[in-house]
Amino acid sequence: MRLFGGRGNLVGLDIGSSAVKLVRLREAAGSWELLAFSLGQLPPDAIVEGRVMNFTAVIERIRELVREAGVGGVETALAISGSSVIIKKLSLPEMTRAELDESIMWEAEQYIPFDIKDVNVDAQILNPRAGQGQMDVLMVAAKKDVVSEYVSVAVEAGLRPVVVDVSIFAALNMFEVNYSVPADQTLACLNVGASSINVGVLSGGMVAFTRDIASGGAVLTAEIQKHFNVSYEEAEAFKTGAESSLSSSTVAREVARISERVCDQMVTEVQRSLDFFVATSIKADIGRIFLTGGSAQLPALIRALERRMEVPVELVNPFRNIAVDARRFDIDLLQRAAPVAGVAVGLALRRFGDGA
Ligand SMILES: Nc1ncnc2c1ncn2[C@@H]1O[C@H](COP(=O)(O)OP(=O)(O)OP(=O)(O)O)[C@@H](O)[C@H]1O
Ligand SMILES: [Mg+2]
């Protein structure tokens, strides 16, 4: 007997620039179980700067995952990120949800550098009584053409998208389900992908800051490609340390040196964002950094973050609080793929009827 969610949870589909990830979970009696996890690589030019360039390749890949997971026609949550999304914390006079829905477009207009007609706007009340008759609201605006691009590839691949989330919110959602954080702690969560680093700060259990940085592991792949004059696939193998690909220890040393330099640049960007957050918020020193995303596995990145931010850095396990049946999944394989699953798990935690 299933107690909750007769209609099941949403399929979480994370369309990243280097790989598509699909996760399905089941909730029973307040705990979670993994039903499906599939991962499919994309060619490097299929998605560029958050825009779908090669529709055929992306649709084909998602279709394979849908087939593998047996989720054709299932309601799905997607995520977008990057410059097509504007997130802003607003302080507004206390009002009801209905009043907020009515006024948010008008409020949003002044923060959006695009025509208001070209964006979908949504708002979440963070704190209904922030004091002095004000409330804290998180406003999210997303460019309609980008949303419809992602929705249409999912539809073409046989899914039924019903929620469009923001990557960093999905990552934070995944984090909160897996880790309990003392309410008074401020922490940063970074989703380090191939071409973006999504930065989120949680403070007092609420989203305090978000920022998307246009950098990631693909920068390192490109540098390795250039340095050794090798293909994208070879450079990826060099980077991830597939042992047979590192023909000599000299090559390994060179890769490590390039990695140090590129990771240092990435951390400079992250530090700039987090410094900005600290400088503009009242009660916040970041106490810890949690990482998800494929490039979070770069040892040089973790080292540089620890050294420069002077806080403990930890890789998140998105399946920490999710039951996995060892008869259905290769646990070793799953744990190795876990870093790339963060956003997809966060999306799969969404219930139908959650606000977008
Ligand atoms: N073991 C590893 N060590 C270092 N980097 C890795 C490892 N495994 C994967 N990566 C890198 O992680 C990246 C893929 O991670 P992820 O799937 O999170 O990115 P994405 O979602 O496709 O990208 P984005 O969200 O930026 O569009 C690739 O750049 C890949 O080379
Ligand atoms: Mg990603």
Q: Give the helix/strand (H/E) hosting 292.
A: strand 288-292
| pLDDT at res. 130 | 86
Task: Report the side by side order of strands in the sheet with 85-93.
Answer: 85-93, 134-143, 119-131
Does 245 have pLDDT greater than 80?
A: no
Does 2 have pLDDT greater than 70?
A: no
| pLDDT at res. 145 | 96
Residue 244's pLDDT band (boundaries 50, 70, 90)?
Answer: low
Helix (H, G, I), strand (E, B) or coil at 118: helix
| pLDDT at res. 337 | 96
| pLDDT at res. 135 | 95
Phi, psi (degrees; rounded to nearest 5) at 185: -95, 145
Minimum-distance ligand to the CA of 50? Answer: 1
| Multiple choice CATH, 180-315, 3.40.190.80, 1.25.40.10, 2.30.40.10, 3.30.420.40 | 3.30.420.40
Question: What is the per-residue burial (b if ≥16 Cβ within 10 Å, else e) of 152-182?
Answer: ebbeebbbebbbbbbbbbbbbbbbebbbebe
The C-alpha atoms of residue 91 and residue 319 are separated, in whole angstroms, by 35
Pocket test for ligand 1, best of 153, 212, 303, 340 (most atoms within 8 A of CB): 340
The minimum-distance atom of ligand 1 relative to the CA of 239 is 4
What fold, for 1-84+144-178+317-356?
Nucleotidyltransferase; domain 5 (3.30.420)
Q: Which residues contact 66 (CB under 8 A, 6 or more apart)?
A: 22, 72, 157, 158, 159
Taking the domains of the chain in order of start, what are their residue ranges?
Answer: 1-84+144-178+317-356, 180-315
Indicate whether residue 195 lines ligand 1 (CB < 6 A).
yes
**What's the whole-number mean pLDDT along residues 126-153?**
94
| pLDDT at res. 356 | 39
Pairing of strands 19-28, 11-15: antiparallel
The minimum-distance atom of ligand 1 relative to the CA of 42 is 22
pTM here is 0.94
